[in-house]
Amino acid sequence: MRTDAFTGAGSGRALLLGFVRRDFANRYAGTFMGGLWALAQPALLLAIYAFVFRHVFKVRLPDPAYSYVTVVACALWPWMAFQEAVQRATVSITANADLIRKIRFPNHLLTLAAVLASFAIHLTGFLAVLAVLALCGEPIHYDGLPVALAAWGVAFALAFGVALVTAALQVAIKDVEPALGPLFMLFFYATPILYPLALVPEAMRPWLAFNPLVHVVEPIRTALLGGEPLAALGALWPAALAASCLFLFARWFFARLEDYFQDFL
């Protein structure tokens, strides 16, 4: 991401920081609880899933050392970060049409800021939930935390890549944003969030493997619950590869359309 005569060295960071701050302000300005709402929503979802799947459907986990809540929590927060980042970043260009029409600046910073803000909020929630679970006596392997964070990094890159494409498309095609809701619902169940991958029948697993998010959430569980950080790191590579390819394409795609956002806004 280069800078040019208009955004001198260093100011790209100032601008990005400003956009992230503004993103927070847009979400929580005037609320009493502020960022706490970001923690409350997934926590409530977690409570609902725990009730439905443990007490109604009586799901039995292969590894009885961990509660259902812990298994779901490991995947739910990264998923929330990914989904929210993509959904919010998709409208990052169209929602800031006034800015783009009047000022020259690297437009992708808007998209990046939306992704950053979502990940910052939900990573905080994730760490808070891990702390609470540990206090409740869940035997979480904290030596797996660096690998879990690396998986978060891959999720971030995936989200940014997807968001660059959807945000650029959204400028010309308004159907992108409404289509994301149903798509994400589909992906939510196609990703092992409410269930560990081990519960999926063998025959279906190769199909699930095409979903890069599978390779993000499963390594997090392997690292934090399985206690095998090295195996988790090894399992991360398909997602990392997908994220790199996607990012390269997304960067080209966004740059191609960036000059013409004006014409559609």
Partner 1 sequence: MKKEDTAPAPPPQAQEAEPPLIRLENVGKSFPLADTAKKRLAALAALIRGRPLPAAFHALSGIDLEVRRGESVGLIGVNGAGKSTLLKIIAGVVRPGTGSLARNGRLSALLELGAGFHPEYTGRENIFLAAALMGLADAEIRTRLPAILAFADIGAYIDQPLRHYSSGMVVRLGFALATCVQPDLLITDEVLAVGDESFQRKCVAWMENYLAGGGALLLCSHSMFHIEKLCRRALWVHEGRIRTHGEAGAVTKEYIAWHEARLAGERPRASAAAAAAGLHAIRSLALNGGEADATLAMGEDLHISGTAFAPDGRPPVVAIGIVKSGGTTVYGLTTDMDSHVPRPLPHDPDGRLFAFGLRLPGINLLPGHYEVRAHALDSEGYRLFDEATRMLTVTGSSRELGVCRLTHAWE
Phi, psi of 259 (to 5 degrees): -70, -15
Cβ proximity to partner 1: between 2 and 58 the closer is 2
Binning the chain into helix, strand and coil, the percentages to the nearest 5 are 75, 0, 25
Taking CB under 8 A as the criterion, the residue among 33, 40, 103, 185 binding partner 1 is 103
Cβ proximity to partner 1: between 9 and 56 the closer is 9
What is the per-residue binding string for partner 1 in 80-99, x denoting contact by CB under 8 A?
Answer: ------------------xx
Question: C-beta of 59: minimal distance to partner 1 in Å?
Answer: 44
**How many CB atoms lie under 10 A from the CB of residue 90?**
25
Pick from 28, 132, 32: nearest CA to 77: 132
Structure tokens at 112: 């990046």
Contact between 247 and partner 1 per CB under 8 A: no
Q: How many chain residues are in contact with partner 1, going by CB under 8 A? A: 50
Contact between 161 and partner 1 per CB under 8 A: no
Contact between 21 and partner 1 per CB under 8 A: yes
Distance CA 222, CA 96 (A): 40
The answer to whether the CB of 225 falls within 8 A of the CB of 71 is yes
Cβ proximity to partner 1: between 228 and 258 the closer is 258
Q: Which ranges of 50-175 would DSSP assign to H, the alpha helix?
A: 68-90, 97-102, 108-135, 145-172
From 15-23, 72-80, 81-89, 238-246, span contacting partner 1 (CB under 8 A): 15-23
**What are the residues binding partner 1 (CB under 8 A)?**
1-11, 14-15, 17-19, 21-22, 25-26, 29-30, 98-108, 169, 172-175, 251, 253-260, 262-264
